[in-house]
Chains A and B, each alone.
Chain A
């Protein structure tokens, strides 16, 4: 299989910068799978799971918070606000932030801006819980 260079960037680290066979992500328009030699492409990503197929044909999954996916000639870049590999997620922390988000949603019913932010926070927490395998099935 042909490989391509995949770079996953967040504001506090470079999560991944290596060869990959395939990357699957959920954009605002739907799921996409990117293989080597894909045409130039840019899309916005949702808070979701990102799956990377490595050159040894194993799969690695990461929880990502919203961002952007860009395919250029030389590489595929993914810029997201947060990203963690499934096995690096602390389920206790994710659970705490889920409860925190629920409490905020209760409290901010009359403040649309903060309610929206609390909803996004809840989405991120649920996404992390699901991907770490501790979510509500």
Chain B
């Protein structure tokens, strides 16, 4: 028969854990609401910027830009990895790192080199003890992400791409927020801008000031900035959603455990009482 005191102690420990998971669940859901709103708000801006670039690329037959050229003979990759600042969010961080690591291995196996730009404390930690070059690390930026920081990041990325002719591409790994219960880690190409010329190419006279190329070149940093901003905000929403689900499960498990333990406790208590009665009755009958 289990010790009554031990069971009681375990019940207390599970209860206090449950209080923590419950609180984390509530915090995550309120942060999720805000983050989802921000992620939704950036979409029209991003889409409008992207559409305009696609139009410039498709309307002008002689259009040419350093950002659409594929550097096919090069093999180095700049990988931007967006993870969370904290753990306890289910598989959120692990999924991002699995995807990142797979890409790093792939590039290295084909003889290429990878430079990483980690965003989020967990990503910074993950790459800190790996043999890998870090361009610049950002931690604790996701919750209060703003467009100016995103523009700084975009500037750095674009300058790096221009200075290093050996860079084949700039790629981004973030977590796509599909629904409150589904978030998918994804990889996307930032530079070169592919598929731009794929949109309908009806030629129509548009006045560009000062010129289509100049407008395009100036749009690229803005596009990259809004892409980064959107990806950071969306990853943050995914992190919160993932944490909420994980904490919800933990709270459920704790409730179940407490139920089981209290059953065990009551049984043990009853057992102890029965034994005591048996002893008294036994003692009384022995005296007769």
Contact = CB atoms under 8 A, between A and B. Distances in A.
B283 interface: no
Interface residues of A, number: 26
A89 interface: no
A105 interface: no
Nearest to A32: B209
A16 B41 CA distance: 13
Nearest to B205: A40
B147 A42 contact: no
State the main secondary structure of chain B at its contact with A: helix
Contacts of B52: 42, 68, 70, 79
A42 B215 contact: yes
Interface string B143-171: 00001101110010000000000000000
Interface in B1-53: 38, 41-42, 44-46, 48-49, 52
A56 interface: no
A7 B45 CA distance: 10
B148 A11 contact: no
Given A11-B45, A67-B222, A39 B207 contact: yes
A106 interface: no
Interface in A5-20: 7, 9-14
B44 A9 contact: yes
Please tell me the size bucket of the interface on B. Answer: 20 to 34
Q: In the complex, which of the residues A11, A41, A121 has the most CB atoms of chain B within 10 Å of its own CB atom?
A: A11
Nearest to B44: A9
B134 to A, nearest CB: 19
A128 B31 CA distance: 30
B198 interface: no
Interface string A93-122: 000000000000000000001000100010
B208 interface: yes
B50 to A, nearest CB: 10
Contacts of A24: none
A42 B205 contact: no
Contacts of A7: 48
A124 B59 CA distance: 33
B41 A13 contact: yes
A46 to B, nearest CB: 12
13 contacts: A10-B45, A11-B42, A12-B42, A29-B209, A29-B210, A42-B207, A42-B208, A43-B215, A67-B222, A70-B48, A70-B52, A79-B52, A113-B155
Interface of A: 7, 9-14, 27-29, 39-44, 67-68, 70, 77, 79, 81-82, 113, 117, 121
